Amino acid sequence: MQPFFAQRFAKVEPSFIREILKVAMNPDVISFAGGLPNPAFFPNEALATASVKVLQNNGNSALQYSATEGFAPLREYIADRYFKQYGMKVSPNNILITNGSQQALDLLGKVLVDEGDKLIIEEPGYLGAIQALSVYQPQFQGVALNEDGLDLNELDRLLAEPDHARVLYGVTNFQNPTGLSYSLENREAIADRLVKHNMLMIEDNPYGELRFEGEHLPPIGKMAPDNVVLLGSFSKVVVPSFRLGWMLMPDWLCQKITIAKQASDLHTNGFVQQVLHSYLQDHDLDEHIERIRTVYGRQKVAMEKALLKYCPGIEFTRPEGGMFLWLKLPKHINAMELFDSAIKENVAFVPGQPFYVRPDILNTARLSYAGADEATIEEGIKRLGRVISQAL
C-alpha cells in the first residue's frame, strides 16, 4: 500500500516518548519518562462547577459553532495577563486559540515552511516540535543550547549564510528536554539578530509559569514583537486534556494563520474554552500555580539530592522551574541501551537521542520530577544509580 502515502510522511517518525510511555505504564515501574503534569493539581470540582454554570447560563452559544480565532473573553484574559506579567500591551485580535501548542506548531509549519527550507532549532530540542515541523520537510539546522541559552557563535555562523534560515524555534523557559532557560542577555542578543536578519522566532513557553527559583524574565517577543510568535498553553497549569493553547502573533501573520486554522478544524472546542474562562473568572490562577510550583520545587530538589547520592559524578542540569532535568552520561554509555537495562530494574526515563536533529549524541537522558513524590523519586533514582553503576 506504499503508493498511497504522501512523500512528506516518508521521514516523519512516531513520537518516541509516546512509545516509551506504553512500556512505562506498568504499575511496578517508577517512571521519570512522561512530561505529564501531576494530576493531583487538576481542579476537578471547580471545573465541574464551571461546566454546569456555562451550560445553564450560555448553553446555546457554548454548544454552537464559534469563531475561528477563539472565545473573545478568553483571548482578552490572555492579553491582560501578558500586561500583568510582563508589561506587554497586546491586542486580543493578535491572539488565536489552538488545540494545544502542538496545533500552533502545525499551523506555523503550513504557513511558513516549504520543502527544503532551512529551519534553525535549539539542540537538544522539543521532540514534539521536531515531529510537527518534520511534516513540512524543512532542513533542520541545530544550534547548541548552553547553560545561558543558544550558542550565539553557532547561530551567527548559520546567519552568515547568504540563504540563511528565516525561522528559528526555541523554548526559552525551563526548556524541554533540558530544563535550561535563556538568560536576559541571551534573549536580548537573539532579539537583535531577529530584527537585523529579518527572521521570525517561534518562542514556545509552556513552562514559564512554573518558576520556583529566580526571577521571571521577559519573553523575546516583548523585545522584538514583529519578529516573534509567542506560544502559550493552559495544559501545564490547569489541565492538559482540554488541549487549550494560544498563539500571540504580529499583525502581518494573523490573516494567514487564521485561514490555516479554518482549513484545519474551523475552531477549537468552544464549550471547553467557555468552561476554562468561567473557571479563570471565579478562581485565582496565581494561587493555583503557586501550589504547583511549591510541590514541583520540592520534587526537583529531591531528585537533585538523590542524583548526587546514588549517581555520583554524573552531570545534570539545575533548572529553576519547569518539569525536567537533563543528564549527561559518560561518553561510552549509550542511553538507549541503558533504558533497556533500567526497565528491568523497573525505572524509566527518556533517552536523549530523539531530541537531536543530529542524532549522533547518545549519552544524554531526560528525567521528569513532576509526577512522583519525594520518596518515590529517591527509590527511582536509587534504581537508576544501580543501572548506571553496572554500565560504568
Query: How far is residue 58's CA from residue 274's CA, in Å, rounded to a whole number?
Result: 9
CB-based burial of residue 35 (10 Å sphere; 0-12 exposed, 13-18 middle, 19+ buried)?
buried
Q: What pLDDT does residue 17 have?
A: 66
- Give mean pLDDT in consecutive 10-residue pieces for the chain, a chain of 392 residues: 71 68 77 90 97 95 96 98 96 98 97 97 95 94 96 98 97 97 98 98 97 95 98 97 98 98 96 98 97 97 98 96 96 92 93 87 94 96 95 84
Q: Which residue has the cell 530544563?
A: 179
**What is the reported pTM?**
0.94
The conformation of residue 48, written as its DSSP 8-state character, comes to H
Q: What pLDDT does residue 312 have?
A: 94
Query: How far is residue 42's CA from residue 240's CA, in Å, rounded to a whole number?
Result: 9
Kind plus residue range of the DSSP H or E element containing 57: helix 44-62
CA 35 to chain centre: 9
Distances (CA, A) of 2 to 6, 10, 131, 284: 9, 10, 21, 52
Q: What pLDDT does residue 158 have?
A: 98
Q: What pLDDT does residue 27 have?
A: 82
- For residue 374, give the amino acid letter: E
Least Cα distance to 70 among 254, 286, 288 occurs for: 254
Query: How far is residue 20's CA from residue 15's CA, in Å, rounded to a whole number?
Result: 9
User: Which runs of consecutive H residues, i.e. helices, occur in 199-315?
Assistant: 220-223, 251-265, 270-282, 285-310
CB-based burial of residue 7 (10 Å sphere; 0-12 exposed, 13-18 middle, 19+ buried)?
exposed
Query: How far is residue 67's CA from residue 97's CA, in Å, rounded to a whole number?
Result: 10
Q: What is the pLDDT of residues 243-264, one digit of tens each?
A: 999 999 999 999 999 999 999 9
The conformation of residue 371, written as its DSSP 8-state character, comes to T
Task: Find all residues with CB under 8 Å of 234, minimum gap 6, and list them.
Answer: 242, 244, 245, 276
Q: At what angle do helices 100-112 and 127-134 cross, to 10 degrees?
A: 40
CB 72 within 8 A of CB 276: no
